[in-house]
Structure 1
Amino acid sequence: MRTSPTLRSLARPKPQQQVDPVAVLRQFTGGVREQRAPGEQCEMCAVPIGPEHSHLADVQGHRLLCTCRPCYLLFSDGGASHGHYRVVPDRYRSNPDFSMSAVQWETMGIPVNLAFLFYQSDQDRYVAFYPSPGGPTESLLDLAAWDEVVAGDQLLQELAPDVEAVLLRRLDDGFECHLVPIDACYELVGIVRQYWEGFAGGEDVWQRIDAFFAAIQERGRG
């Protein structure tokens, strides 16, 4: 025979348990029923998604997750994931006042005229990557020169850690600078990886890169 709880036991606060939001999502969706390629299903709840979809940054795993819109919104306040996941925003901003010397660029060891940098919170520092035919390649040189650039640029200081990046293209007379969602940088990496040919890349890939930056510029005006 089950005994009824006493008033004291009812009044006693229950210990708080940390909820795994991913496990909760899969309770409602029944788990992963059908394995699809990344980008074809939400990597949180496994529902099918289209080619245009949102992303979450897995801060600890250093990767991007493709998500449906409801899962994206679930993590938009940051509290649900205890800092593990962060939503990738969709804002684009150009930085026409960006200033960087050729010497500062050279000390970062970027061998091509394209690079993106973002603040990686779990390492408490900026990291720099450049697109290559083999995928995103990290520059392992000292980024003290970049810290100097950020210190003198208010817009760069507003960059959201882990989910926004500074996208740079070196030109003959300076630099083109944009603040973009981190997934836009990996879109550029995909263009280079897919269309690069030979040593210099070929005319096709550079036309696609030009078109990519033109679209970024247009979105920054919106």
Structure 2
Amino acid sequence: MTARDVLGPATSQLRRLARTPVPEPDRGRRAQHTCELCSEPLPDEHRHLLDLTSRQLCCACRACSLLFDREATGTGRYRAVPRLRKRLPADPLDDVTWAALEVPVRLAFFVPHSGDAGDGSDTGDVSVTAYYPSPLGVVGTAVDEEAWARVNPDVAERLEPDVTALLVRRDAGEHWLVGIDECYRLTARVRHTWTGMTGGDEVWHEIDRFFAELRGAPAPT
């Protein structure tokens, strides 16, 4: 899978997930979220499913998300995005590996993509794409296989294809294993707070807030 295959669905998904995080005070009352499979009303905190045919995320109730949990079923159109926020104690990317990955920014997430199209066919191939937030949404580029092979294998093997990511904030030395919905929330925040050519102070404040939430720390003020 190339970046072109996922940019369109990922960008449209940002618009939906932009309403899921903590809203701005003046945004007003949000419409009630409902499960996109069964229409059950959803709380603000809810699971997501990845539609393997369209590569879009769907909001799901607990019952529907459990139906498509990978441990329960490894086949089908939908795959549950795990609730995953795990900070890695050590840097899985040394400077040589980071240079080989050729990512042009210091904030990025890496997603392994399977050959599963959700229709019963699976090529068995796994490719990795590096994504990074931008004022236009998510931007992606294919990762060279030899470069990805340099990544700490213990970390790479823990990534569940399509639904988990290695999230890297290089300048702060933070590396996380997260569900892909966390990455899209981060990208939505960047997109909606970016100003000017470099993003402005507000976008970096919002990035600080996001990582504070991952750590369970009080958000910066």
Question: TM-score with structure 1 length normalisation?
Answer: 0.71
Query: Relative to 1, partners in 2 of residues 1:45 and 1:38: Cα closer, same or farther, differing over 3 Å?
Result: farther
Max radius of gyration: which structure?
1
1:158 match: 158
- Unpaired stretches in structure 1, ≥5 consecutive residues: 1-36
| Cα distance change of structure 1 residues 104 and 149 upon mapping to structure 2, 3 Å threshold | same
- For residues 159 and 142 of structure 2, what CA distance do their matches in structure 1 show? 21
Q: What code does the residue aligned with 2:213 have?
A: A
Instruction: Name the structure 2 match of 1:55.
Output: 48
1:44–1:67 CA contact under 8 A, matched in 2: yes
Within the alignment, does 1:170 sit opposite 2:170 as a pair? yes
The 1:141–1:75 alpha-carbon spacing in structure 2 relative to 1, beyond 3 Å, is closer
In 2, Cα distance between the equivalents of 1:125 and 1:177? 20
4+ residue runs over 6 A deviation:
none
Distance 1:47 1:77, change over 3 A: same
Q: Distance in 1 between matches of 2:133 and 2:179?
A: 16
User: How many equivalent residue pairs?
Assistant: 179
Structure 1 residues 100, 81: CA separation in 2 closer, same or farther (over 3 Å shift)? Answer: closer
Q: Give deviations 1:23-74, integer Å, cap 9, x for gaps.
A: xxxxxxxxxxxxxx99822111223323322101122321211111221122
Distance 1:218 1:140 in 2: 32
Give the conservation status (yes or no) of the 8 Å contact 1:108–1:143.
no
Kept in 2, the 8 Å contact 1:40–1:48? The answer is yes
Supply the distance in 2 between the matched residues of 1:43 and 1:208 (Cα, whole angstroms): 29
Alignment RMSD, CA only? 2.5
- Give the match for residue 106 of structure 1: 99
Identity %: 39
Deviation of 1:141 after TM superposition, in Å, equals: 5.1
Report the Cα distance in structure 2 between the residues aligned to 1:162 and 1:139, rounded to whole angstroms.
15
Tell me: higher relative CO, structure 1 or 2? Use CA pairs within 8 A at least 6 residues apart.
Answer: 2
Distance in 2 separating the partners of 1:171 and 1:39: 38
Measure the CA separation in 2 of the matches of 1:100 and 1:77. 28
- 1:77 positional shift: 5.3
Long gaps (5+) in structure 2: 1-29, 116-124
CA distance in 1, matches of 2:63, 2:69: 10
Residues 43, 67 of structure 1: 8 Å contact kept: yes
